[in-house]
Structure 1
């Protein structure tokens, strides 16, 4: 029982759940104690911010309307046409001017989507209108109306006439409108030209008013300096309130009064002589406290349930991958590198599992590669010895030595015997290292070609072009000599013409290409295809299948075959490198050795 309690899963579950419950208890107590104290302040601040935002919206809205009338009053073309209209006697020109004035009003009309109508009335009584509908149907008695008197008595300032249940100039326009206007003046001589009256939709004002409400029973009013209600929310029973008894703010200040049975906030609009009042019953504020407490209890219950579920999931998601990882580590400890852990958990655990899998795979690959490299090196060592002690080669060499002795060519004999000595020494010395340099491989090639050129007496010549900076490039031992031997035996000896064996290097990005080509008899297509497949599949074949090589006649003989050379290059440098063979029957064969170039400075 104690061991089960000490398991990672149970410990994590209890630890997570205990922390969540302790945190929940502390937060709930502190929250409940503070809620009652701060909720009134919060609501007051919210009401103050709401009314401040509403007043700001009003100011922006009225400023936009003000800019429309200023744009009309500052339109030189409009003022010129209104003045010229009085002296125009040409009917056609009058029609053109009327249309131009209407177009100017239309441009202003369509600059905002809340304008219902624009009306310009000149001092001579001419009217120009642009309305949403019923355009040109005007009240004939507008000149005796209150709004007309206010505009005529103004001195160029903006006149906010307020909200009306319908259009003040077009009786057919029955929707509520917000009406404002100003006198139009000729800016050159400050002479009155007429008045402009604009009617706008009340949706923007009503939307701004609704922003002040903080509860369903909140009521908002906009009153002017005469305590006349400009607009209000739809609760009718509170509209009989006496605004003279309510506190009125001065300048740009905001009044917040919660001393009575309701919360009162008030603020002034700077663009118009209006005051915005917001009234919220205290019972609504207390109801918010009760709702908050009930909601808190509900949240606590749900949070306890979710914490239990979450603690179970988290502890299981952490413990299960760790258990799988421990089990697989025990398998690795026993020497089994073939397993893998597959889990879907937290990012850190997934990263740990992925690293473990890569480590195990890498260990398995390294062990296999080391084993294959060791076997390949041993086979190459034995095959090199067998290849160099090839009876046919020794017979020809001894026969050549015999005839040279007979002809007393002692210098040539010395060079041949010396070259043969170097070759045996190089090919049989595998104890120090199985890797060498390009320079040492070229030296071995020269010794071999010394024997071949003397034996064939001018039938074969060698050309070597290698830059000195490439001579220190590492190579597996016995890489070039087997390729040269194949080229001589299978390609150049059967020729009925002088043979040329060329070795040169090319640099390709970060890769060195050692190219060995001859002008021999070439390889038949079938044998070439078999050889290329053997090179491609050399990484999949067993060591025993890599010990033979095929000459141009299709016969196999013992030696270090090209697949063996290719395999040792792959084991040393990787799968991107190795041998490539190209041949054309009757033209010659090209073998390309691809090895990596070390980084600059190394």
Structure 2
């Protein structure tokens, strides 16, 4: 007999097991010891590390500010030198007789202007002014608005922008003034030229410089990634942005700047980035200068300084954790051993007794007590298992007795003998068939399984008896896969399905019908199905494997199907229950699957 022999514990044992597993979230001694040691040392290291980091960060910030101050002064010096270089153009031109006379006579552009232009170019080259990469052009205007110029860029745009500057800012500018146009790549330095005799204005010098080239020259004095911001009421210029700074961003930056004639440190934000800034004012140009260092860069450099200390602290913490773990493992080893045994007990292993705790007096006493308890539980468990087996056996036998009532063989033998003596072969064959079915009923009381071959013989006897009733109204077909004759299946399982098909499907049908019995091997299982084209089910019955009373479905209790489903559950578990599909008056299929088994499991 094949029965689902699952281990069954007493209710109290099950509750104890569940309770033990439900408390796995509680704290562990080993974890507590490891955590306590680790936390103590880690806290000490962290406090020391924080103090060290604070002091290091403070010194680093001070050093960084000194670096910014030094580079800021270098930037101011570079700007002043560039402005002096640009302003020197004024002195060079006013000292040149040809340029001075051209301005004084207010010539229009003519051949004389061409001579003056050549001399002006020569003077600029001799004084190395023209070698400055940031100088684009130098325009000299007289009082008539005529101009002569030298330029590296002879484009119409350059001349147009310079003319716009001249017309827009055509006022007296005794000192060098800086101007700019929106969306222009150039800055313009403007200064009026005065007569040395009368003090009257003779003209105006406009020097155009390239913004990017000038900023590139200035940023040589600061660290990579820093910004220089130059601004006054007419100019806003910042390095390292490729000209993609909006007016709103410029205004927000200017509003956050602390203006001072001396160096002042402050925090600011530009393009969503934080900066440490240093500002100063160049009074002679009314030009505010700001040097900005990204705080992210400061943090990165500080991190690089602290990284070796952080690595050492982490390594110490890891080493301490490992040592604490090993130490706690030594301390708590007996508890771990005991827990392992208790877990096995919770999983149902009552035969293995606790050992290896003889070295510790407290645990040795606990070991003796638990082993005594295990012996009693093991005996108790075996008794319960045996009782459950007996209960299942009795239930299966009771179900089989309900399906297959016992008849007297002697009566049938007498009927068969009389029929044979009177040459009534039909009665004789019917008596023999019924006798074989009754013999199988008796056999089923001691055997829960039969081979496919024997089960099909019972089905054929039953079909013969039904054929005597219905003659040729019902045709029966067999679809049996080869090599399954010796496979074991529940006895009277197919016969029960065939009987159900006759009684509830084909018999009520007024016309002829067919019945197909199919047995197939699918993977490691044998699938058995009975198909008929009778009246079918108007409502598919459901079977509760734990239900003891019959429930009517469509006026029928279906006790045969219910008992077969219960037998399948007891013998193979829930995966072998009956599966019913029905289309009324067309097709009804009842099937089940059992494990493929050639072994004799007869009790």
TM-score (norm 1): 0.40
